[in-house]
Amino acid sequence: MKKLSVITVFLLAIIIWSCGGSKQERSRNYMPDMMDSRAYETYANLDTLKSQGINYTAMPVAGTVKRGELYPFPLAADKFGDSTNYVASRQVPNPITALTEDQSKEAERLYLVNCGICHGGNLNGNGPLYNDGTGPYGVAPRNLVDDPVVTGMPDGQMFYSISYGKGQMGPYASQLTTTQRWMVVRFIRDKQIQKKGGSAPKAQGTDSLQSAGTPPKTTSPVGIPKDSAQTKK
């Protein structure tokens, strides 16, 4: 009887011990490969693959264009005191010749978020920063629908100014993709047409970007430099 009591106490102690411990710590398991996947998690660090020269989730290969994106702008930013590429940008056409209704709404949203604070919601150069001269910025921004400097500016030059900055305006290449910048340029151009009483062209179909043109030939370097200085207007 005494022996049975000892065995019973021993078994109860084992049962109680097995119920304790941290639930976060796994006990010993047989063949762990059947439980734990060796696959990489999404966005996991892949330094081991990188050391082998495998480009997996790193930067895209130079010269490639991701699906759904337009070709990169073929002109680099001018160095301080130079305006060669700014002048050459006059020859770069806008690959987006018209916007669909949805694209026009998206272009307006992009404009208001990035440009409206200076140039105003009505594109009249009277944004919150200027506010009829009472705002924190005392110099009136350009009127995008009435100023002949802007209305006569080619699309490529307008895109250059948005990408690399011009005058007191900083560059917006990091905030807007190539496609978005061209859309904003097209949106501004449409507003200029409407201000004169005309009708802005409307794209047919669901996506005008699918038929965007190829980039013009140029001998200038492609891409946006790491250090693009702001130039005075």
> Domain extents for the chain?
84-202
Q: By C-alpha distance, which of 126, 143, 141 is closest to 192?
A: 143
Give this prediction's pTM.
0.63
pLDDT tens for the chain, 233 residues long, are: 677 787 888 888 888 877 765 555 666 666 666 666 666 667 666 666 667 666 655 666 777 877 777 888 888 889 888 889 999 999 999 999 999 999 999 999 999 999 999 999 999 999 999 999 898 988 899 999 999 999 999 999 999 999 999 888 999 999 999 999 999 999 999 999 999 888 888 887 655 554 443 444 443 333 333 333 333 33
Topology, domain 84-202: Cytochrome Bc1 Complex; Chain D, domain 2 (1.10.760)
